[in-house]
Amino acid sequence: MEDKISKIKQNFEKEEGKISPPELRIKYLGRHSELNGLLHELATLSDAQKKATGSSINKLKKYIETQLDSLESLSDNSQPSEDFDPTLPGNKPQVGSLHPTTKVINLINQFFIYQGYSVYEGPEIETEENNFGKLNLPSDHPARELMDTLYIKQPEYLLRTHTSSVEARALTNEALPIRIVVPGKVYRNETENTTNNSMFYQYEGLLVDHGVNMSHLKGTLIAFVKYLYGEDVKTRFRCKYYPQVEPGVGLDIECPFCLSVGCMVCKYRGFIEILGAGMVHPNMLKSCGIDHTKYSGFAFGMGLDRLVMTKYEIADIRKLYNGELVTL
């Protein structure tokens, strides 16, 4: 038996370079191979012999397999099959992408979540009370008319004109202290053009706690603007009027197109306004049931669309939301 086994090994080694590996595999490992035949003969042997011979057969089998494996892998590289053209393009998987506005919201959320804010939401169909009344905008306040509200049922129900309505809800319903940011859709009754759409996005922030003052607002906004525009961005804090806040702040960044010299883009201001902010008006705190002698807070709000448009080089706001935007 052992002789037969070593004979098979010799034959294999002789033929190794001459016959193709698949043929060798059939001849030496196939069902009708000599080696397989020997396995059947094992039955005739004594137990002790069975064990010894069986192990020799298995050893040879393993050896042949290893040899064949390495031969095959060699031949794969050295002799590519004729129809294999590695320069053909790959099969790209279809990959989906998020809308640019969602991406910008995620980017900004990331900053504020790290600062301890919760992402908060509210309805788009609002009451006059939450959209105006609680925000220190009593009826007959000129700002109400300036906002060109879309009404569902005048004067009570409307489409929110700003995300500040959610501040009123949060201040009324959530426990203090509070830190929230609110991204969301807002609506205005506007003639649509490249810069105006009846629906657009705002991003609102609110922090109310003990001992909050304008230095905290300034610190937060500067850190945020640096996060968004880079460490070297130049900012300008202006006094600005918003009914919901007192004192009010307008935050500008240096115009990146003219570096504050003045150009068409910044309307020769040298700066571009990016958000409005201020200390929450005591009337607003009061109307939401908060003791303004114990708590103070700041709020800020910004339009998101211009940010998205600048980042993704989109010239027409309508294209963001009318299905003409193809994400690559």
Partner 1 sequence: MKVPIEWLKQYVDTSLEADEIGVKLTEIGHMQDGKIDNKEGITVMDLEVRQNRPDVLSIIGVARELSAIVQTKLKYPDLSDLPKAKANEIKIEVESFQSCYRFNTLVIKNLSSNPLPVQMVALLTAYGMPSINPIVDISNYVMIELGQPLHAFNLDSIEGTLVVRAATHDEEFTALGGKKLKLTPDDIVIADNRGVLALAGIIGGERAKVDNKTTDILLEAAVYNQASIRRTSARHGIRTEASTRLEKFLHPKGTEVALSRALNLYSQFCSGKAVGSTDLYYNEAKELKLSFSTSQVLKIGGVKLSINEIVSILNRLELKAKKKSAQLIEVSIPYFRTDLTIEEDLIEEVLRIHGYENIPAILPNMAPPKNIQFPYVDFEMTIRNFMTACGYSEQITAPLVQENSSALLPIRLENSLTKTKDMLRTTLRHGLEQSDKNWLKYGYPRIALFEVGKIYYQSNDEYKERRTLGVILHHKSGSYFDLKGVVEVLFEKLKRRPDDSLYSIVKIDKNAFYLEFDIEALINAETVDGREVLTEPPQQIFHDFSFIVSQDQAVGAIIDALKSISPLVYQVTLGEMPKMLKGGTKSVFIHIAFSNSNNNVNISNEDVEPVRKDIVSLLESKFSARVRK
* Inter-residue contact 163 to 301 (CB < 8 Å): yes
Partner touching 99 among Zn ion, partner 1, none, CB below 5 to 8 Å by kind: partner 1
* Inter-residue contact 264 to 258 (CB < 8 Å): no
> In 3-state terms, what secondary structure has residue 29?
helix
| Inter-CA distances, 84 with 79, 81, 89, Å | 11, 6, 12
- 312 touches partner 1 (CB under 8 A): no
Q: Which residue, 107 or 265, has its beta carbon nearer to Zn ion?
A: 265
Q: Which of residues 33-92 bind partner 1 (CB under 8 A)?
A: none
Give the count of residues interacting with partner 1 (CB under 8 A): 88
Residue 155: asked if its preceding bond is cis (omega within 30°), the reply is yes
Q: Which residue, 223 or 261, has its beta carbon nearer to Zn ion?
A: 261
Q: Which residue has the tokens 């640019």?
A: 100
Q: Identify which range of 21-29, 35-43, 73-81, 210-218 contacts partner 1 by CB under 8 A.
A: 210-218
Which of 30, 37, 80, 177 forms a contact with partner 1 (CB under 8 A)? Answer: 177
- 269 touches partner 1 (CB under 8 A): yes
The DSSP secondary-structure symbol of 61 reads H
- 121 touches partner 1 (CB under 8 A): yes
Contact positions vs Zn ion (CB under 5 A): 255, 257-258, 263, 265-266
- 222 touches partner 1 (CB under 8 A): yes
The C-alpha atoms of residue 311 and residue 314 are separated, in whole angstroms, by 8
Q: Which two tokens stand for residue 167?
A: 């501040």
The C-alpha atoms of residue 233 and residue 19 are separated, in whole angstroms, by 73
| Inter-CA distances, 304 with 55, 96, 182, Å | 75, 22, 11
- Residue of 49, 48, 80, 63 lying closest to 12 (CA atoms): 63
- 261 touches partner 1 (CB under 8 A): no
- 145 touches partner 1 (CB under 8 A): yes
Q: Which residue, 199 or 258, has its beta carbon nearer to Zn ion?
A: 258
CB of 99 to partner 1, least distance (A): 4
Partner touching 255 among Zn ion, partner 1, none, CB below 5 to 8 Å by kind: Zn ion
Q: Which of residues 156-175 bind partner 1 (CB under 8 A)?
A: 157, 159, 174-175
Partner touching 263 among partner 1, Zn ion, none, CB below 5 to 8 Å by kind: Zn ion
Which of 107, 151, 172, 194 forms a contact with partner 1 (CB under 8 A)? Answer: 151
Sheet (strand 151-153) strand order = 125-127, 157-159, 151-153
Partner touching 257 among Zn ion, partner 1, none, CB below 5 to 8 Å by kind: Zn ion
> In 3-state terms, what secondary structure has residue 213?
coil
> In 3-state terms, what secondary structure has residue 290?
coil
* Inter-residue contact 210 to 295 (CB < 8 Å): yes
CB of 193 to partner 1, least distance (A): 11
Which of 10, 77, 87, 154 forms a contact with partner 1 (CB under 8 A)? Answer: 154
CA 67 to chain centre: 50
Which of 58, 73, 75, 102 forms a contact with partner 1 (CB under 8 A)? Answer: 102
- 311 touches partner 1 (CB under 8 A): no
